[in-house]
A and B are shown apart, each in its own frame.
Chain A
Amino acid sequence: MALDAPANPVVEFTLDGRAAAAAPGQLLIDACEQAGTYIPRFCYHPRMRSVGMCRMCLVEVDTGRGPALQPACMLSVSAGMIVETASPPVVKAQDGVLEFLLLNHPLDCPVCDKGGECPLQDQTMAFGPGESRFVEEKRHFAKPIPISDLVFLDRERCILCDRCTRFADEVAGEALIGFQNRGSHTQVNTFPDQPFDSYFSGNTVQICPVGALTARPYRFKARPWDLSETISTYPNAVGDRISVHASRNRILRIQGVDSDAVNWGWLSDRDRFSFEAVHSPERLTEPMGRSEDGELTPLSTSAALGAAAAALRAALDAHGPQSVALLGGAGLCAEDQYAWAKLAKGVLATDNVDACMGDGLAGETICALPRATIADACRPGGVVLLLSGDLREEFGTLYLRLRRSLMDGDAALLELTPLETSLSSLAACSLRVRPGDAARVVEALLETPRGERFAGIETKELAAASALLSERPLTVLLGRTSQAESAEAAERAAILLARAFPQAKFLPLLRRGAAVGALEMGLAPRLLPGRTTLAAAGDWYRRFWGAAPAEPGLDAAGILRAAVEGKIKVLILLGADPATDFPDRRLVEAALASVSTIIALDAFPTASSRRAHVLLPTATFGEREGTHVNVEGRATAVTRQVTPPAGVRVDWQVAAELADLLGFDLGLSSPRQIWEEAVRLSPLHAGVTWDGVRADLDGVLMPAAAPDAAAQDEAAKGEAPAELAGEAPADAVAAAASLPPSLRLADLELPEAPATPFDGYSFRLVADRTLYDKGTIVSHSPSLAGKAVPARLRLNPSDFERLAVGKDALVSVTSSSGAITVSAAPDERVPPAAAALALNTGGADPRDLISSEEPICEVRIVSSEL
Chain B
Amino acid sequence: MPRLSTKNEKLAMEIIGRYPRPRSALIPLLHLAQAQDGFVSESAMGHIAELLNTTPSEVLSTCSFYEMFKRSKVGTYQVNVCRGISCFLLGGEELAERAAARLGIFLGGTTPDGAVTLDAVECVAACSEAPCLQVNYRYFNRVDGETLDSLLDDLIGGARSDLPRHGVLSRLPQIIPRESAAGSSPPENTGPPSWWVNRSEDGSL
Contact = CB atoms under 8 A, between A and B. Distances in A.
Is there direct touching of A and B in the complex, by C-beta distance under 8 Å?
A: yes
Given A191-B45, A192-B42, A180 B61 contact: yes
B64 A175 contact: no
Contacts of B64: 180-182
Interface string B77-101: 0000000000000000000000000
A174 B55 CA distance: 8
B57 A177 contact: yes
B22 interface: no
A194 B49 CA distance: 13
22 contacts: A174-B55, A175-B54, A175-B55, A175-B57, A175-B58, A176-B55, A178-B60, A179-B61, A179-B65, A180-B61, A181-B64, A182-B64, A182-B65, A191-B45, A191-B46, A191-B55, A191-B56, A191-B57, A191-B59, A191-B60, A192-B42, A194-B56
A174 B46 CA distance: 15
A178 B58 contact: yes
Contacts of B42: 191-192
The 9 closest A-B pairs by CB, nearest first: A178-B61, A191-B56, A191-B57, A180-B64, A175-B55, A178-B57, A175-B58, A181-B64, A182-B65
Contacts of B59: 191
A190 interface: yes
Contacts of A175: 54-55, 57-58
A190 B57 contact: yes
Contacts of A179: 61, 65
A421 B190 CA distance: 29
Q: Among B42, B56, B58, B61, which residue has the most Cβ atoms of chain A within 10 A?
A: B61
A760 B159 CA distance: 68
Given A191-B57, A192-B42, 8 more contacts: A174-B55, A175-B58, A178-B57, A179-B65, A181-B64, A181-B65, A182-B64, A190-B57
Interface string A353-368: 0000000000000000
B57 A194 contact: yes
A375 B60 CA distance: 37
Interface residues of B, number: 13
Contacts of B46: 191
A122 B55 CA distance: 36
Contacts of B57: 175-178, 190-191, 194
Contacts of A180: 60-61, 64
A663 B46 CA distance: 70
A190 B56 CA distance: 9
Contacts of B65: 179, 181-182
B103 to A, nearest CB: 25
Q: Among A175, A180, A191, which residue has the most Cβ atoms of chain B within 10 A?
A: A191
Contacts of A178: 57-58, 60-61
Interface of A: 169, 174-182, 190-192, 194
Interface of B: 42, 45-46, 54-61, 64-65
A191 to B, nearest CB: 4
Contacts of A182: 64-65
A169 B23 CA distance: 15
A858 B61 CA distance: 46
A194 B50 CA distance: 14
Contacts of B56: 191, 194
B41 to A, nearest CB: 11
A483 B168 CA distance: 56
A192 B45 CA distance: 11
B11 to A, nearest CB: 24
A177 B59 CA distance: 11
Contacts of B60: 178, 180, 191
Nearest to A183: B65
A740 B13 CA distance: 66
Nearest to A168: B57
Contacts of B58: 169, 175, 178
Nearest to B54: A175
A772 B31 CA distance: 40
Nearest to B59: A191
B101 to A, nearest CB: 27
B59 to A, nearest CB: 8
A175 B57 CA distance: 7
Contacts of B61: 178-180
Nearest to B63: A180
Contacts of A190: 57
A176 B46 CA distance: 12
Nearest to A192: B42
Contacts of B55: 174-176, 191, 194
A554 to B, nearest CB: 50
B118 to A, nearest CB: 20
A108 to B, nearest CB: 27
Nearest to A193: B42
Contacts of A194: 55-57
A179 B66 CA distance: 12
A190 B42 CA distance: 12
Contacts of A169: 58
A181 B63 CA distance: 8
A856 to B, nearest CB: 33
A190 B45 CA distance: 13
Nearest to A185: B64
A176 B55 CA distance: 7
Contacts of A192: 42
A178 B56 CA distance: 10
Contacts of A191: 42, 45-46, 55-57, 59-60
A175 B61 CA distance: 10
A191 B56 CA distance: 6
A353 B42 CA distance: 57
A174 B54 CA distance: 9
A80 B56 CA distance: 47
B2 to A, nearest CB: 16
A495 to B, nearest CB: 37
A181 B67 CA distance: 9
Nearest to B49: A191
Q: Among B42, B57, B58, B64, which residue has the most Cβ atoms of chain A within 10 A?
A: B57
A182 B68 CA distance: 12
A178 B59 CA distance: 9
A180 B57 CA distance: 9
Contacts of A176: 55, 57
A178 B63 CA distance: 11
Nearest to B53: A425
B64 to A, nearest CB: 5
A664 to B, nearest CB: 61
Contacts of A177: 57
A180 B59 CA distance: 10
A630 B197 CA distance: 55
A155 to B, nearest CB: 14
A169 B61 CA distance: 12
A90 B137 CA distance: 45
A176 B60 CA distance: 10
A572 to B, nearest CB: 49
Nearest to B56: A191
Nearest to A180: B64
A818 to B, nearest CB: 38
A807 B46 CA distance: 21
A179 B54 CA distance: 15
B55 to A, nearest CB: 5
A178 B65 CA distance: 11
A706 B101 CA distance: 87
A183 to B, nearest CB: 9
A755 B184 CA distance: 48
A535 to B, nearest CB: 54
Nearest to B66: A182
Nearest to B46: A191
B15 to A, nearest CB: 22
A169 B54 CA distance: 11
Contacts of A174: 55
A384 B60 CA distance: 35
B50 to A, nearest CB: 12
A416 to B, nearest CB: 24
B91 to A, nearest CB: 27
